Amino acid sequence: MTNFVSVIKQCETASGAGSKQVIQAALGLSDSDARDLITAALDPYQVFGVKQFEMPTAFQKRDYCGVGQFLDLLQALSSRSLTGDAARQAVTSNLALYDEETAIYLARVIDKDLRMGASADSVNKAWKANPIPGDMSRKLIPTFEVMLADKCDNTEDFEDKVTFPCQADWKYDGQRTIALVREGKPVEYRARSGKEMEHLAGIFDEDLLAIRAEVGYDFVMDGESFASDFTETINAKKVGNDAAKAALRLRAFFMMPLTDWIAQKTSITMRQNRKALETLLVNRTKITLSGGREVKDFQDMTAYCAEVTTKGFDNQPNGHEGLILKDWESVYVWERSFTWTKVKNFYDVDCKIVGFYAGKKGKRLANTLGGIKVWGRTEDGTIVESDVGSGFGDALRNEIWTNQDAWLGATVVIKYQEVSKSKNKAVASLRFPTFEHRRDDKIVE
């Protein structure tokens, strides 16, 4: 047990430049007992269910019983053969078998917070580099991964990565919530990091367990816990804030069998998933289907994004954050992917055309308009210059390309997501600029 305490102490005291290397070196020196304890603390699927317990009033003068009895205790807690007051008393009695310093660090295992500044990924990396001879069968610590949306850097990238039509879910300003629903066990709620969301205990259980009874298998539901706004969502974490807790709803956007989640592989497409959730979530009181609709193309998407981010939309003071575009035929993956693409609000700016450029050689637009060069000012007075290559039909491209004199200097409306400033340019540019239409009632100077 001395090795476990030593390793954690070295990790938690590492600071400044080179701290990562110090932590990796310390983890690499952990013996078999230390690795069992660190695994128990970091394994997101091993839950002990004891949130508050008393530390012993007296300890042994030295650690004499080894790790076995403590690991037996962890197994009893994890299997829930020990619960409630019996569990709390067992923890206190077990910690009394060790010296005080060891007991303090073992308590961190039960709290599932070693406070050593290293994630399961970092620990696995250290252990793979430093295997214990004769212990080659040891498995790495399971990590808790979720699907994350990627974002595009420019309009061309956006058009390459996103397949229309697609589902456009509202992007809530809440907290990512993953519910693990097993027969005969309390529902477990996890954050994106895998950390338990203790404040959600019992809030959505009735609906989730009813779904479990209906489908007949253990499952995982991924969604966003959200109240009236982000502040109230966070306030629900505070003890005694019953009003905020009562306002919480789980906005569900994916569900799969628990076996799929653990294997990190599923064949359920986004289309199949949404259709199933539409049926399962009818008349549920605390769980609702994530809001959204299908968008048919880029222009439809930008218009819908503007709608959902409007003040007052869905009774939200500032609307929602944006959209998450989801490829209908894609499946859930445990990494960041462009099959989910996040989109923020788009804005309009009046610009004048200051130039033109042809399509790339060897491409479909090689002999016609590739795009226009524009100059303008945003509402706050920021001067912007951008190349705009999206938003034109083939007929309009030909019209502009063959009549450049008539279009040069014309005022056009450009839709964009945000203003960006490159280190190499004196003037800001537009992110995701898209041509909307020409306007003859205004001159940009």
What pairing do the DSSP bridges indicate for beta strands 166-171 and 148-150?
unpaired
What is the C-alpha separation between 302 and 345, in angstroms, rounded? 8
The tokens for 3 are 């090795």
Which amino acid, one-letter code, is at 213? A
Domain range for 325: 148-343
Per-residue pLDDT at 332: 98
Strand partners, 376: 351, 384
What is the C-alpha separation between 371 and 430, in angstroms, rounded? 14
Give the tens place of pLDDT for each residue, 24-58: 999 999 999 999 999 999 998 888 989 789 999 99
Contact 85, 16 (CB under 8 A): no
Report residue 196: phi and psi, to 5°.
Answer: -65, 140
Residues 333 and 361 in one domain: no
For the chain, the domain total comes to: 3
CATH number at 324 reads 3.30.470.30
Residues 383 and 236 in one domain: no
What is the C-alpha separation between 310 and 302, in angstroms, rounded? 12
Is 0.85 topped by the overall pTM? no
Residues 121 and 193 in one domain: no
What is the C-alpha separation between 1 and 340, in angstroms, rounded? 45
CB atoms within 10 A of CB 31: 16
Query: Which residues, at least 6 apart from 33, have a Cβ–Cβ distance to it below 8 Å?
Result: 1, 3, 4, 66, 67
What is the C-alpha separation between 371 and 396, in angstroms, rounded? 11
Residue that finishes a domain, picked among 310, 343, 376: 343
Residues 258 and 391 in one domain: no
CB atoms within 10 A of CB 78: 16
Answer whether residue 423 shows pLDDT above 70.
no
Please tell me what DSSP assigns to residue 315.
Answer: G
> Which of 223, 214, 219 has its CA nearest to residue 257?
219
Residue that finishes a domain, picked among 275, 310, 343: 343
What is the C-alpha separation between 11 and 24, in angstroms, rounded? 8
What is the C-alpha separation between 422 and 291, in angstroms, rounded? 36
Residues 121 and 218 in one domain: no
Residues 381 and 358 in one domain: yes
Residue that finishes a domain, picked among 343, 364, 396: 343
Give the tens place of pLDDT for each residue, 97-147: 999 999 999 999 999 989 898 889 899 999 999 999 887 677 889 888 999
Residues 257 and 398 in one domain: no
Answer whether residue 426 shows pLDDT above 90.
no
Domain assignment present for residue 255? The answer is yes
